[in-house]
Amino acid sequence: MKLHRILPLLLLLGFLTVAAPSAFGQVQGYGLGPKIGLYLDQGRLMVGGLGEFPVAANTFFEPGVEIVFGIKNTTRLVADLNGRYTFLVKGASIEPFILAGIAGRIDLYEATGQTFTDTGFRLNLGGGVTVNPRSLMQPWAGVKIFLLDDTGTDLALQGGVNFYF
């Protein structure tokens, strides 16, 4: 799959991620950061990014995008819309969280010289832990399970760093 076909989608996601805080009118700040992970079904590498926007105390809206590698002749893009709830642990340097949401998947593949697409929707469930939650740079790690996709259920181990503004 050629990069010039993927780039407009990534630019649109970047614009929405930057524009969303003004639409929500948040005063608590927002976070943006890269993520990397591994889908355990056939060991597929994933890279992407996510945003974190406060909605209420301990509750965040968390959109994200992923590019999945390792599928022959196919580029897989996944866009997540998750809600995340964090559990405050008084005096601790970690913050556990759970998340749930929906995702759209699009597979772009080439066959017989033509480009085809296959789409699907998923239900995301997961959790993890954020380290150093009072800092402007917060590493995190977690697990996410995907359900209801016609390509099957999959489990992803992922992590990243969020930078807060």
The CATH number for 74's domain is 2.40.160.20
Domain hosting residue 148, numbered range: 3-164
- Looking at residues 114-119, what average pLDDT do you find? 92
Choose from 54-58, 127-131, 145-149 the range with maximum mean pLDDT.
127-131
Q: Quick one: CA dihedral 62, 134, 142, 99, positive or negative?
A: negative
| Residue 122 Cα distances to 16, 83, 114, 146, 147, angstroms | 21, 14, 26, 6, 6
- pLDDT for 48-94, tens place per residue? 999 999 999 899 999 999 999 988 888 999 999 999 999 988 888 99
Considering the chain, what is the average pLDDT of its residues?
A: 85
Q: Exposure pattern of 99-123 as b/e (b: 16+ CB <10 Å)?
A: bebebebebbbeeeeeeeeeeeebe
User: For a pLDDT cut of 90, what percent of the chain falls above it?
Assistant: 61
* Contact (CB, 8 A) for 63 and 17: yes
- Looking at residues 101-115, what average pLDDT do you find? 91
Q: How far is it, in rounded angstroms, from Cα 57 to Cα 38?
A: 31
Q: Could you give the residue ranges of the DSSP H alpha helices within 25-108? A: none
- For the chain, the helix, strand and coil percentages under 3-state DSSP, each to the nearest 5: 15, 60, 20
Provide the whole-model pTM: 0.77
Residue 20 vs residue 109, higher pLDDT: 109
Residue 13 has pLDDT above 70, yes or no: no
**What is the total count of domains within the chain?**
1
Q: What is the DSSP letter of 9?
A: H
